[in-house]
Amino acid sequence: PFSHVFDNEFLPKVLGNRAETFGWSHESMSIRLLDSMIDNNYIDEHVLSKSDCRKIEDLICASCSAYKPSPYFREKRYLTEIVANGRNSIDVDKFDYLDRDCYYCGVRASCDFRRIMPFIKVIDNSVCFKASEVWNVYEIFHTRASLHRRVYTHKVAKAIEYMVVDALVEANESLNIVEKIRSPREFIQLDDTILKRIQFSDANHESGGMRKARQIVERIHKRDLYKFVNEYCVPREMLPSWRKVTAEDVVSCQLVNRSHGVQLHPDDIIVQ
């Protein structure tokens, strides 16, 4: 549920150092879901062969750092650059989600995805683009950067993301969320309706964690969101020696407000 928020925020927060023992990744679960769909729908070998399944798996994992292509794709390496391009990140997946997100967020894309397609050619076993389209290709990354700045990392979007993560963390013990990633059959139960299940959980038969989770979800509906405080852009020359700031660092610098008795704790702060 909630795509990369689940992968990058929720699971590390719950599992910590145990994440590796679960063998979880976005791509590996996609492959397991594919296998599960084939088995559950009794798709025969003559309809979708094991060789075809292996090719689909290759296309899914092509951008992973540990990816090792099968003999078929070593001869036709350019095919691995269509869905998940690990060479330059220009692929149909990016075309799809950028076009979709621009449309639904009311943001105008500065690139023309449809114009790029006719100017693609395979050269030396790689997908290449006509030189005259260089600025349109640049605009793909400009559009992506714009969406990250204006949508994906917008302060309200991030506040809701963190609240969703906290709600899932609190509800994990009652709903057994983490354990469901072990099985594709159970994992598909974790769609976005999980927030509804938390919201309408039985108040008479719930744990303290579930009660907190429901309160967080109710805060989201009431727009009583986490508050954005500040941001700091680290100068490029300082990046090599820059130490990651923690919530404890922020708390250690506070001045206790004696008039109102306000004192922050590390659990009150999220540092991105």
Judge whether 26 counts as a catalytic residue.
Answer: yes
The rounded radius of gyration (Å) of the Cα atoms in the chain is 23
User: Between the CA of residue 109 and those of 106, 132, 232, what are the distances in Å?
Assistant: 9, 19, 27
Question: HSE (CB half, 13 Å, CA atoms) of 59?
Answer: 15
Q: Which residues, listed in sequence order, are joined to residue 122 by a DSSP beta bridge?
A: 127
DSSP category for residue 65:
T
Tokens at 198, concatenated: 């938390």
Phi-psi region of 176 (alpha: psi -120 to 50; beta: other; left: phi over 0): left
E runs forming strands in the chain: 120-123, 126-129
Among 26, 142, 205, 221, the one annotated catalytic: 26
Give the catalytic positions in this structure: 26
